[in-house]
Amino acid sequence: MSKLFVQTLRDFPQDADAMSHKLLVRAGYIKKIANGIYSYLPLMQRVLKKVEQITREELNKAGAQELLMPFVQPAELWQKSGRWGAYGKELLRMKDRHDVELCLGPTHEEIITFIADGILTSYRQLPVNLYQFQLKFRDEIRPRFGLLRGREFIMKDGYSFHTSQKSLEEEYENMARAYKRIFERCGLETKMVQSDSGAIGGKVSHEFMVLTKTQTGEDDVFYCNCCDYSANSNHAYSILPDKETIAPFDKMTEVHTPDVKTIKDLAEFLNINENNILKSVMYIVDSKPVLVMIRGDKEVEETKLLNALSGQEIRKATDDEVFEFTGLMPGFMSYLGLEGKIKILFDKSAEGMKNFVIGANKKDYHITGVNFDKNIEFVDISLVKEGELCPVCSKPLSVTRGIEVGNIFQLGTKYSEPMEAYYTDENGQNKPYIMGCYGIGITRTAAAAIEKHHDDFGIIWPLAIAPYHCVVVPVNIQDEAQKKVAYDVYNKLLEKGVEVVLDDREDRAGVKFKDADLIGFPFRITAGKTVNDGLVEFKIRSTGEVLTLTPDDAVQKVVDEVSKL
């Protein structure tokens, strides 16, 4: 311990927002270098290597092969796939001294497709699954929560190549099983949920979520208590329990609604429910205005909206923009009168509305008793709410927060087709590879383990990914008897292959115990006064359990636990 490159802090850092971030800094695992960019100090490096090794073992067992691709990538390949323009600002672009455009790899679909092309030439060579551990750089708009959402981070990314959708689906299942084992071995229970495919592309995808109660989980996961439906909120669907809503207005009337600012105000003013009001919300999607009509008690899910429009960038319109495009103040607009002038989308939640209320496109006025024309098309672009019904079995859905530690995608030919990466099939025909891709956030997984396993005193590492299995603490290093027992225990553990630290510092016992808890060694063997009776104290970090044992028994206990890994 006197040599270990670690500096624990008395207090939590000021700028940390997640528990894992606070603890990693305070316990001396990471050091921030720039926004969203960290150094992994020796303790952290040991943790990351363990997560990596578990991942490697399980993937190799599942038949995948490891390679290593470059961090810096040529624009040329991204232009070929069509993503150079499509990826947005997360892609950090640069030029070299010859004015050649390059980028820092945020993901490696283009590179792997380029590699496969020319090597995997025949159907006889397929399927193949290749993976790497590599740094990624994404100029995230909101890097936060320390390692949970960095700009630079370590990912395991894997890619598979197939001749048929069936073969892809088999490998997808194979990877799903491997992922479950990987996270289990890391001490993390995960839920596999349906998700949106985002910038990676493809149709079918799932995320592996560590469910958390804290706000640190960045995703909401909706799940059914009765069947196994579960999905990220950006891809969750539901049946509304109150699908049909009929407002008490039997003919269309313009109503004066002064000082009514919100949907809630309007519902109260007219003495109706919020689900009797058709709300208008304006977005700017790829610099163009889009008006969304949605039931008053529902909210827009921006990813779903973006997908419905095949857009890339989305934000809410400002009041000034609303005025610019409609000549109106927000609060009183509606689709009536704006048709043909601006893109309008109707959310599915509105489908069952009758005699409803909308803005009159006139300040301080609404229209009651409106009904839709027959030819209106509805798309599902709303956020699911807890209590709405499962789309599979119609039972109520629940919601929880989650941290996405991994995901799997069925890409199909999204990259092979534009990049002209072909193999020849049985009939000598050129065909694009059918591809899958599979990611695990190595740094995020380690941080998620802390989110799940910690207490007021510090980190509680699952044994499999702890930087060391055990710490040996002589209470008073000046006491010859204590010192001798501590060194004996330490040497015996080393001999048996246990990863162990001896706290040989001159500090008070209290300081050493505090550090041991903070750093999160799974086992602590303490040599104090009882060494004179031939006994040491054995403490289990996760349960707080303390046993008094002979030094040999304490050593054996650690050895037993480690051998179960």
Query: In the set 407, 410, 416, 526, which binds ligand ATP (CB under 6 A)?
Result: 407
Q: Are 278 and 331 in contact (CB under 8 A)?
A: no
CB of 520 to ligand ATP, least distance (A): 21
Positions 222 through 241 that interact with ligand ATP (CB under 6 A): none
Q: In the chain, count of helices (H) and strands (E)?
A: 13, 33
Phi and psi at residue 492, to the nearest 5°:
-65, -40
Nearer to ligand ATP, 28 or 441 (CB): 441
Binding mask 106-145 for ligand ATP (x = CB under 6 A): -x------------------------------x-x-----
* Among 278-286, 301-309, 401-409, 476-484, the segment contacting ligand ATP (CB under 6 A): 401-409
Tell the smallest beta-carbon distance from residue 407 to ligand ATP (Å). 5
Residue among 151 and 279 whose Cβ is closer to ligand ATP: 151
Residues whose CB falls within 8 Å of the CB of residue 59, separated by 6 or more in sequence, listed in order: 66, 129, 131, 156, 158, 178, 182
Only one of the segments 244-252, 307-315, 402-410, 495-503 lies at the binding site for ligand ATP (rule: CB under 6 A); that segment is 402-410
Neighbour count for residue 504 (Cβ, 10 Å): 18
Residue sitting closest to ligand ATP (CB): 441
Instruction: Read off the tokens for 149.
Output: 């959402």
What is the DSSP pairing of strand 37-40 with strand 72-74?
unpaired
Q: Give yes or no for residue 158 binding ligand ATP (CB under 6 A).
A: no
Query: Contact at 8 Å (CB) between 387 and 397?
Result: yes
Q: Rounded distance, CA 131 to CA 66, Å?
A: 5
* Residues 175 and 452 sit within 8 Å (Cβ to Cβ): no
Tell me whether residue 88 or residue 387 sits nearer to ligand ATP (CB atom).
88
Residue 55 touching ligand ATP (CB under 6 A): no
3-class SS letters over 266-334: HHHHHCCCHHHEEEEEEEEECCEEEEEEEECCCCECHHHHHHHCCCCCEEECCHHHHHHHHCCCCCCCC
Q: Give the residue, chosen from 28, 127, 146, 150, that forms a contact with ligand ATP under the rule CB under 6 A.
A: 150
Q: Which of 28, 187, 289, 406 touches ligand ATP by CB under 6 A?
A: 406
Instruction: Give the one residue of 80, 298, 444, 452 binding ligand ATP; rule: CB under 6 A.
Output: 444
Both structure tokens of 352: 């069952």
Q: Give the residue with the Cβ less far from ligand ATP, 73 or 107.
A: 107
Provide, rounded to whole angstroms, the least separation between the CB of residue 51 and ligand ATP.
11
The answer to the question of residue 146 lying near ligand ATP (CB under 6 A) is: no
| CA pair distance 40, 47, nearest whole angstrom | 10
Question: Which of the stretches 377-385, 404-412, 483-491, 556-564 binds ligand ATP when contact is defined by CB under 6 A?
Answer: 404-412
Chain centre distance of CA 324? 37
Burial of 244 (0-12, 13-18, 19+ CB in 10 A): exposed
Burial call 44-54: b when 16+ CB within 10 Å, e when fewer = bebbbbbbbeb
Q: Minimum distance between the CB of residue 4 and ligand ATP, rounded to whole angstroms?
A: 26
List the strands of the sheet with 101-104, edge to edge.
72-74, 101-104, 93-95
Least separation in angstroms between CB 439 and ligand ATP: 3
Please identify, using beta-carbon distances, which residue of 407 and 416 lies nearer to ligand ATP: 407
Amino acid (1-letter code) at residue 322: V
How far is the C-alpha of 225 from the C-alpha of 207, rounded, in Å? Answer: 19
Residue 83: both structure tokens together? 């993503």
x/- track of binding to ligand ATP for residues 181-220 (CB under 6 A): -----------------x-x--------------------
CB closer to ligand ATP, 234 vs 361: 234
Minimum CB distance to ligand ATP, residue 196 (Å): 8
Q: Which chain residues interact with ligand ATP by CB under 6 A? A: 107, 138, 140, 149-150, 153, 155, 198, 200, 404-407, 439, 441, 443-444
